[in-house]
Structure 1
């Protein structure tokens, strides 16, 4: 993510965001963990305060957690078993590194034109048969929310095509609607895709 205003919002609201995201009780996370090999390697891409990364580490996974906001990384690093680092989506590197990549409502802050590049890098970083979890808000266009964060909205067909173009095979689709940090409700989609 390279949008400075979005980064500033998260830096200013780190504590509030951590309170909202403080629990990692999520059936999608449970399914993600269950699908991975015991002791497998995971990248939590856009980890925020690290609640999901911590749950993965407690489940015995080896977790690398990245976020572009240093304040978020500092929080994530406090969780046992979480190797937290400051990094942007542009810094996804390497080949066959991870059994799973958890991109939970993070890539929605990337520019639309950058999504194919990021997803191709994710596909390379996954081991053969590795699992990507990606969740994004649904809709069309790019706009800022009430507190200034930039969002790239996608349709289900668009996200499915982006993943397929990156060489990933979509296996699961989940939709929902939740209230975000800005206090408004939004529709979302989560896809599970294998390399």
Structure 2
């Protein structure tokens, strides 16, 4: 994420966001499946970690967690969780080769401009170990738009997402659909895909 307005909103609304999402994030069945798919004591990246609830759950399960977010306020909250190493970084700052056993990108890459999405996926595929588990969650739809409070979103159809994942080198696997209320009060459909590097 590099959109200044989106980052500013997350900085200002970090506590509100945590209050809205922490309870669900700690009991998310997708997170349970992700953790189970990672090797014991594996190294994982929580990309766009937000307040760090998911990262904390990964750490509790014995994983070595690196949590990154472009929002300084979110990083500050995430760093307070035991076992979570958190730092401020944008999607462009993710580097490394075969570094991670798993990458959790749950509703983070939807803030990347469409033109940058293939490059970010390619970098993540480069950073994940062969066969590593990759979870991505996005909102379904078309185009780019700002939500009611000004955050930048890029929407994808399921077919578009599958195409992007395969072109980046990932093998898509388990797919789930749902809908949920966002920080702006609107409800939107989403897709979550567990893929492998």
TM bucket by the smaller chain?
over 0.9
Number of aligned residues: 195
Other-structure match for 1:3: 3
1:111-161 Cα distance to aligned partner (Å, 9 max, x none):
000000000000000001101100000000000000100000000000000
**Secondary structure in 2 matching 1:18:** helix
Other-structure match for 2:40: 38
Alignment of 1:132-143 (within 5 A): 132-143=134-145
Other-structure match for 1:48: 50
**Secondary structure in 2 matching 1:139:** coil
Once the two structures are TM-superposed, the CA of residue 22 in structure 1 deviates from its matched residue by 1.8
Say whether 1:87 aligns with 2:89: yes
**Secondary structure in 2 matching 1:44:** strand
Residues of 1 paired with 2:158 and 2:167: CA distance? 14
Other-structure match for 1:15: 15
Alignment of 1:23-172 (within 5 A): 23=23, 24-172=26-174
Question: Which range moved further: 14-23 or 80-89?
Answer: 14-23
**Secondary structure in 1 matching 2:27:** coil
Once the two structures are TM-superposed, the CA of residue 21 in structure 1 deviates from its matched residue by 1.6
Residues of 1 paired with 2:53 and 2:161: CA distance? 25
Q: What TM-score, normalized by structure 2, do the two folds share?
A: 0.98
Q: What TM-score, normalized by structure 1, do the two folds share?
A: 0.99
Question: Which range moved further: 67-76 or 21-30?
Answer: 21-30
CA RMSD across the alignment: 0.5
For structure 1, which runs of at least 5 residues remain unmatched after alignment? none
1:90-122 Cα distance to aligned partner (Å, 9 max, x none):
001000100000000000000000000000000
**Secondary structure in 2 matching 1:113:** helix
Once the two structures are TM-superposed, the CA of residue 2 in structure 1 deviates from its matched residue by 1.2
Residues of 2 paired with 1:178 and 1:22: CA distance? 14
